[in-house]
Amino acid sequence: MKGKCVVTGGAGFIGSNLVQALLAKGFEVVVVDDLSSGNRSNIAHLPVTFVETSIEDGETLKRVMKGADAVFHLAASVGNKRSIDAPLRDSEINVLGTLQVLEACRAAGVPKIVYSSSAGIFGELKQIPIDESHPIDPNTPYGASKLCGEKMCLAYGKLGYIDAVCLRYFNVYGPGQRFDQYGNVIPIFVFQLLDGQPITIYGDGEQTRDFIHVADVVQANLLAAFNFNGSAAFNLGSGQSISINRLVEMIQAASGIQGRVTHGAPRPGDARDSLADISLIQKELGFSPTVSLDEGITGYVDWARSLLREAA
C-alpha cells in the first residue's frame, strides 16, 4: 500500500470515481458517506473501508482520519436550487460540516486536504474567461457556503495546520452521474430524452457553460494531493464553453433521438455564462483536460442506456 486516503462523499458520483483511481494507485481508501445523495452501489464492489456517517459527526471523523496521508473532502449539499429551498441545511453541511472535517484533520495530524469547491462562488459573470482573480460574489446560499468552506480550508492552511488545495469545479459530468432534479443539466437532458420526455431548457438556451468530464476532475484531485506543496485555490474546468442549445443538439446526435424541446422561465441564481480560465492550474499542477465534450457525451449516453436496461 502507498498510504491511506480518506474520501468524504466517496459513495457519490465524483467521489466514487476518485476512490477507484486511488485504489488503482495502491492506496488504502476509507470512504465516509451518509448516503443522503451517494449510492452504496457505487462502491459496494470496491475493497474500501466504508464508514456510514455524516461529516457532522466530528468524533467519528477524528477516528477515521488517524494515519491518513490525504483527505479528499467532497461531501456536500450540492446545487443552487437545493440551497434556495433549504438554506439552513445547506450551511449546516457545507460550512459546519467542513469545519468538522478540518478539525478532525488537525486532531489527527493529516498533512493535506483537497477541498471540492465550486464555480458558484463567483456568481454572475463579470469578465470572461473566469480566472482566479475574478470578483467573488455568490448569488445563492450554495455559492456562499462553498466559498465559506474554501476560505476556512485556506485559513487552516495559513495557520499551518494543514496544506489545503481548493478546486473550484465548473460543470462536472460523466458515468455514474444519475438523474436528479438538483443535478447537472447533462444527466437531466439525457434521461429526459431516453425516457421519451421533452427536454426542458430554462431560459432561451443561449446561456453558456463550461463542462468538464469526471475523469479530468479525478486527475486534478490526484495532482493537487500528490504533486503540489502548500495551499492554493484553482479553477477546474475544460477551458471551453458551449451554449445549452448546442449541448442539446450534441445529446440528440449522440443518442440518435431528436426529441422535443420546451422552454421554461430562467431559474433564480443561475449565472448567464460560465467559462474557466485554467492557465493557473495547468501551470502549477500540470493539469490538462483529456476528454472532449463529444467523447464525454457519447460515453455518458451509452452509460445511461446501460443503466436503464439493467433497471428494466
SS3 of residue 62 by DSSP: helix
Please state, in angstroms and rounded to a whole number, the distance separating the CA atoms of residues 33 and 37: 9
**In sequence order, what E strands does the chain have?**
4-8, 28-32, 49-51, 70-73, 112-118, 163-169, 171-173, 199-202, 208-209, 211-213, 232-236, 242-243, 261-264
Please state, in angstroms and rounded to a whole number, the distance separating the CA atoms of residues 125 and 127: 6
Please state, in angstroms and rounded to a whole number, the distance separating the CA atoms of residues 29 and 36: 20
Nearest-CA neighbor of 123 among 103, 110, 142?
A: 142
Grid coordinates representing 258 are 431528436
| CB-based contact 269:80 (threshold 8 Å) | yes
Q: Quick one: angle between helices 58-65 and 97-108, nearest 10?
A: 40
Q: How many CA atoms lie within 13 A of 25 on its CB side?
A: 18
**Residues annotated as catalytic (active site), given as ranges:** 142
